[in-house]
Amino acid sequence: MSNSIASGDDAPSGSSAKLSALKEFRSAGRGVWRDVPEANWNGWHWQLKNRITTVEQLQQLLPALTSEEFAGTMLANTRLALAITPYFFNLIDAADEKCPIRRQVIPRIEETKTAPWEMTDPCGEESHSPVPGLVHRYPDRVLFLVTDRCAAYCRYCTRSRLVSNASGYDFHPHFEQQIDYIRRTPAVRDVLLSGGDPLLFSDEKLEYLLSRLRAIPHVEFLRIGTRIPIFLPQRITPQLCAMLRQYHPLFISIHSNHPRELTAEVRDALGRLADAGVPLGNQSVLLRDVNDDLTVLRAHVQKLLMCRVKPYYIYQCDLIAGSAHLRSSVRKGLEIMAGLRGHTTGYAVPTYVIDAPGGGGKVPVSPEYVLSHNADRVVIRNYEGKVFEYPEAADGTPLVAPPKEIEGPELV
Ligand code: SF4
């Protein structure tokens, strides 16, 4: 029996053209760097050396820099540095003040406005650090912070207290102490290398860490969290992939927020990692006027699968100081999740989580699908809003008598 309580409208016709356009794989192109030799442009060291880091460079490249962006950039180096690789800069639509790529990496004056409930360490990492640079929040896994540097800086970064060192945090990881803690703690079976971005290390330095961790018998599983494939796909060299494949099981979580970030260059870089046997997942942050839109996120998750990446998490933006202008609402996040589940491939649907403010860990949040749990049935709804019953006694045992008829859906 079923009753429809809502319409499960799939891809409204007006949005299907937008969906197709967002799913096209385009190259970032060369932009103003068209005369740079091919070998330089495709070299990750050249990209890093030529990052945009000053207001003067930004003004030259983006003559229509807004007053909010100008003022934000003037103050960026006291909060979270400005840095954008030339490759990633080419994804910005200079004519569009609201460009979703631009909003992620160009500082704005709103970053200086902090509400009393915002924090510099919203996930409470410092209070779960048994040794500097190691976060042991969950029972069987640790977060191993290896550096405070990234290829580019995201304006909503949860770790903006330490990345880029603009506010004088002075992060100096002590690898020996961090490795020693993991060695002495048999409960740790999973180590996530993050930062900052571990893939900024040379192959040799990264291999040193991976080999030391792999030599610890109780470490079953290694992970790397990185935004490098998105900011700097040139870093994903065949040599790096050949090194990484020696340390399996090794997973990589990338961080991409918008389908326009998934260029032809990124798809090729991710393909190299996948060919090296590295399972890939993606973590996105729900950001206001960047990706808090069903069509945008549907295009994104479908495009990720085409890049051989499983959409893993979508995070409600943490209560990071100065991020209010980029935070979308939980209500919007739930609406988008309801628009994905059932409407597209299950593999494409990430888990929506809120990192509980202050250090409570990730809490999954989901639209309601269980409407009630009664004496002889569970009442559920599907993605189209149709209501169904699953006969079962309240204590979970199989029913011995048929359930009583119900007159209509019992909604909670
Ligand atoms: S790449 Fe990650 S660590 Fe670096 S600024 Fe962006 S969110 Fe923060």
pLDDT along the chain (412 residues), means of 10: 40 80 98 98 98 96 95 90 97 96 97 91 88 94 96 94 82 93 98 96 98 98 98 98 98 98 98 98 98 98 98 97 96 98 97 93 95 91 94 86 63 43
Query: Residues 6 or more apart from 184 whose CB is under 8 A from it?
Result: none
**Separation CA 236–CA 84 (nearest Å):** 18
SS3 (DSSP) at 100:
helix
Please report the pLDDT score of residue 143 as a whole number: 96
Nearest residue (by CA) to ligand 1, atom 8, is 157
Please report the pLDDT score of residue 27 as a whole number: 98
Please report the pLDDT score of residue 11 as a whole number: 53
Query: Residues 6 or more apart from 25 whose CB is under 8 A from it?
Result: 262, 263, 264, 267, 303, 306
295: exposed, middle or buried (Cβ count in 10 Å: 0-12, 13-18, 19+) = buried
Candidates 279, 171, 161, 283; CA nearest to 225 is 283
**Separation CA 36–CA 50 (nearest Å):** 11
Please report the pLDDT score of residue 405 as a whole number: 67
Ligand 1 environment, Cβ below 6 A: 150, 153-154, 157, 159, 163, 195-197, 227, 255
Distance between Cα 369 and ligand 1 center (Å): 34
Please report the pLDDT score of residue 123 as a whole number: 87
404: exposed, middle or buried (Cβ count in 10 Å: 0-12, 13-18, 19+) = exposed
Please report the pLDDT score of residue 403 as a whole number: 73
- Clarify whether 96 is annotated catalytic: no
Q: How many CB atoms lie within 10 A of CB 173?
A: 18
Which mutation among 106, 147, 156, 163 tests ligand 1's pocket best, with the greatest number of atoms within 8 A of CB? 163
- Clarify whether 51 is annotated catalytic: no
- Clarify whether 103 is annotated catalytic: no
Q: Which of 99, 154, 307, 317 is catalytic?
A: 154
| End-to-end CA separation in angstroms for the chain | 18
Strand partners, 378: 373, 390
**Separation CA 23–CA 301 (nearest Å):** 10
**Separation CA 204–CA 195 (nearest Å):** 18
Please report the pLDDT score of residue 333 as a whole number: 98
